[in-house]
């Protein structure tokens, strides 16, 4: 029975993937660990460092059977997170085709603290193993992540997923892969959250073979700190239920360090932004352990590398708006470019953007996609004037038309629906 565990990273997280790999092989016997790189690794020094890794490493572009044209189109329309998760079913299929019988996926920001055999054992009688974001029912919810955020992201956290090589898993992978071709966006308007939200369907398709674990030791993460506490018994780490003391403590199997700040290891309190450690002092031991592993690893050697697909090939940053406009172009079968990242082509997507003044080197300096309301300066003053403007609009058109206009704007301001900025012939198209 051949077993494998894998993760997917852009090259800046390669060192982080190695930390995960070390935790896997230190706790699990007879398990192969694989790192799949979604990025391009063309720099000789970086490629050499990748080759020096003890783990089996695969460049996705060269190994998954996706044509160059499709590869570049998909890499362009998706963000780095969206693209890595799009590749997940391809990587499962790749490893199954290599002869593995059971395969686990871990996000690169996971660390394994115990043997993974219990996960593989569940696949003896099941074809899929999932973990929900939260496991404790509360009439009055007290979690840190909002219930709306959890609903939007999906019931199960696919930072972890285990599958058995069988007919049922093949059906799921083929179905999942098909949907992710153009439905792997983070987009609440379309009820999407990368690859993850799709797995909410799983119980609609199968009566048996699905294992959903409520074991507190699996996938401990910031969104469930409120229901899980960490304790040490005989030098072993366990997880207890903060809310229901009647539930027995479980061995800690793996922690998902989602949101961890790898560039501020010295400042423990900043490593999980938004987590109030006055409420969860027991979590500090997990942070210190992870910080120590990170600091002794090669993570810093890769961390500041740029993700290739964040830029046109002249170095200009690709904005979220650009990605969604390109998606609209693909859906309308209007793309005439083989590689949307290339700028030295008459029909290049970049030149189309440039002609409409929708791209500029200054975007890189301004970091536009990462701006939040606190970055705007006099944010509430701007809101005041915008509200004054719409008060005037309401007075001019009346409440009924204003109400309909406000509903229309919800859809109108989706990035894809700004395609008329790129193609003036599109101004009369329906949304």
Mean pLDDT, the chain, rounded, equals 90
List of residues 6+ apart from 112 with CB closer than 8 A: 20, 23, 24, 26, 27, 28, 106, 253, 254
Dihedral-angle region of residue 244 (phi above 0 means left; psi in -120 to 50 means alpha; beta otherwise): beta
Residues 32 and 167: their CA atoms lie apart, in Å, by 23
Residues 341 and 351: their CA atoms lie apart, in Å, by 11
List of residues 6+ apart from 158 with CB closer than 8 A: 85, 88, 105, 130, 194, 195, 196, 199
- Per-residue pLDDT, 270: 60
Residues 119 and 160: their CA atoms lie apart, in Å, by 11
Main-chain phi, psi angles of 160, to 5 degrees = -135, 135
- Per-residue pLDDT, 342: 93
Main-chain phi, psi angles of 197, to 5 degrees = -60, -25
3-300 folds as Spore Coat Polysaccharide Biosynthesis Protein SpsA; Chain A (3.90.550)
Confidence of residue 427 (pLDDT cuts 50, 70, 90): very low
Instruction: Indicate the pTM of the whole model.
Output: 0.91
Q: Which helix (H) or strand (E) holds 170?
A: helix 167-180
Residues 163 and 175: their CA atoms lie apart, in Å, by 14
Residue 385 scores a pLDDT above 90: no
Q: How far is CA 402 from CA 393, 399, 407, 410, in A?
A: 7, 5, 9, 13
**Strands 254-256 and 110-112, how do they pair?**
antiparallel
Mean pLDDT of the 85-109 span: 98
Mean pLDDT of the 412-424 span: 77
Residues 318 and 198: their CA atoms lie apart, in Å, by 27
Residue extents of the structural domains in the chain: 3-300, 314-426
Lookup: tokens for 398: 């009346």
């Amino acid at each position: 029975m051949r077993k494998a565990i894998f993760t997917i990273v852009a090259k800046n997280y390669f060192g982080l993937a190695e930390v995960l790999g070390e935790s896997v092989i230190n706790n699990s016997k007879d398990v192969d660990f694989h790192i799949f790189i979604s990025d391009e690794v063309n720099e000789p020094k970086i490629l050499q460092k990748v080759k020096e890794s003890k783990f089996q490493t695969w460049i996705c572009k060269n190994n998954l059977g996706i044509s160059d044209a499709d590869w570049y189109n998909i890499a362009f329309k998706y963000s780095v997170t969206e693209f890595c998760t799009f590749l997940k079913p391809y990587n499962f299929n790749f490893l199954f085709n290599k002869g593995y019988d059971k395969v686990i996926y871990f996000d690169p920001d996971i660390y394994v603290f115990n043997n993974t055999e219990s996960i593989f054992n569940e696949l003896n009688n099941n074809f899929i193993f999932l973990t929900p974001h939260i496991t404790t029912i509360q009439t009055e919810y007290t979690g840190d992540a909002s219930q709306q955020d959890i609903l939007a992201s999906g019931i199960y956290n696919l930072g972890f997923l285990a599958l058995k090589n069988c007919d049922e898993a093949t059906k799921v992978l083929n179905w999942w892969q098909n949907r992710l071709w153009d439905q792997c966006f983070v987009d609440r308007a379309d009820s999407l959250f990368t690859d993850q939200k799709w797995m909410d369907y799983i119980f609609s398709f199968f009566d048996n073979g699905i294992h959903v674990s409520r074991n507190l030791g699996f996938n401990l993460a910031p969104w469930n700190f409120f229901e899980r506490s960490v304790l040490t018994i005989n030098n072993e780490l366990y997880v207890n239920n903060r809310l229901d003391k009647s539930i027995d403590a479980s061995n800690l199997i793996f922690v998902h360090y989602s949101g961890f700040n790898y560039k501020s290891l010295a400042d423990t309190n900043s490593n999980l932004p938004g987590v109030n450690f006055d409420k969860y002092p027991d979590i500090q031991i997990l942070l210190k352990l992870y910080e120590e592993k990170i600091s002794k690893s090669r993570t810093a050697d890769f961390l500041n590398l740029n993700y290739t697909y964040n830029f046109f090939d002249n170095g200009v940053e690709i904005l979220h708006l650009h990605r969604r406009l390109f998606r609209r172009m693909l859906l309308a079968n209007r793309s005439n470019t083989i590689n949307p990242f290339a700028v030295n082509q008459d029909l290049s997507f970049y030149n189309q953007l440039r002609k409409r003044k929708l791209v500029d080197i200054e975007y890189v300096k301004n970091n536009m996609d990462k701006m939040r309301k606190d970055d705007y300066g006099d944010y509430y003053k701007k809101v005041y004037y915008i509200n004054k403007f719409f008060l005037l609009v309401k007075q001019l058109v009346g409440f009924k038309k204003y109400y309909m206009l406000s509903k229309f704007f919800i859809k109108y301001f989706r990035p894809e629906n700004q395609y008329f900025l790129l193609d003036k012939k599109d101004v009369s198209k329906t949304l």
